[in-house]
Amino acid sequence: MIVPLHGHAATIGYCALALSALFIVGPTAWIFLNSIKYQIAIYTGAWVFEPTLQNYVDVLFSRRSDLISNLANSLVVAAISTVLALAIGTLGAYSLHRWHRRKLLARLLLGWTLVFHMIPTLTLVGPWYVLFQALGLYDTLTALVLTHVAINLPLTIWIMMTFFDEVPVELRDAAAIDGCGEFGTFRRIMLPLAVPGLVSAGILSFVFSWNEFSVALNLTSRGTATVPVAIARFAQQYEIQHAQMAAASMVAIVPALLLMAFGQRFVVRGLTTGAVK
């Protein structure tokens, strides 16, 4: 039951929401303003300035910039790694969910995935670098896809386990009575009811892969670099191109925003669709 706020409590609540919105929107607005400023206006800290779109032209169409190819690299890596993480994670989560006879072992496996997820990604870059050098996969998108699958797999398993656990046991029992085997129950009953979980895990995996920086920085060169690495390269040894960096950052935000806008509506629609009528 939701209790409406009145008086001072409502005022405090609205102030907290406004402050939270300021912390979220403020930095983004600041980056956008820098993206339409000339470099000299950024250096002088001018609040009144002549807006320009030249920074976007430079990062998108200049021969000095590889942002378009970097966007394509990020899209390929994020999309493929998300699909693989969902496929492997969903099957793994359902297997652990159905592992009744060895619940202790299932919990140990879940605990191991949680520990792996807590390990800083930067500590894994060195071993991955040596491994992919030996396999001949260094400086390839394949290496990035494999690392991103490994990074996002624990989160996917935990999210899908939560959704599988929330499915009523009666539905699975009814499917078994109707003659569905284990795979048929998974494909026809469990998987459709877990669509909101698939969408949620897919969105998070895509966004995490899209924003991943440390692995991409160490396992790629200019031709295979992703968007975060491309943005960081605007900070050179003797010059920091603040305006171009801000413009590239605003361009990089767009795909994730579109995905979140689409995915949020899909998740809400999926959660409001009842399984039992």
Angle between the N-to-C axes of helices 67-97 and 141-166, in degrees from 0 to 180, rounded to the nearest 10? 40
Q: Are 42 and 34 in contact (CB under 8 A)?
A: yes
Helix (H) / strand (E) element for 9: namely helix 7-35
Q: Alpha-carbon distance 229 to 221, whole Å?
A: 9
CA angle 226, 230, 233 (to 5 degrees): 145
Say yes or no to pLDDT of 259 above 90: no
pLDDT value of position 277: 42
The pTM score is: 0.84
pLDDT in tens, 193-231: 888 888 888 988 998 999 999 999 999 988 899 999 999
CA angle 55, 59, 61 (to 5 degrees): 105
Report residue 235: phi and psi, to 5°: -95, 95
Q: Tell the CATH topology of 66-233.
A: MetI-like fold (1.10.3720)
Structure confidence at residue 127 as a pLDDT band (50, 70, 90): very high
* Short-list 192, 219, 32, CA closest to 122: 219
The DSSP output letter for 65 is -
* Short-list 204, 202, 194, CA closest to 270: 194
CATH 1.10.3720.10 placement within the chain: 66-233
Neighbours of 48 (CB within 10 A): 5
* Short-list 164, 181, 132, 177, CA closest to 275: 164
Task: Calculate the CA 147 to chain-centre distance.
Answer: 14
DSSP bridge pairs for 235: 240
pLDDT in tens, 42-66: 888 888 888 899 999 999 988 888 8
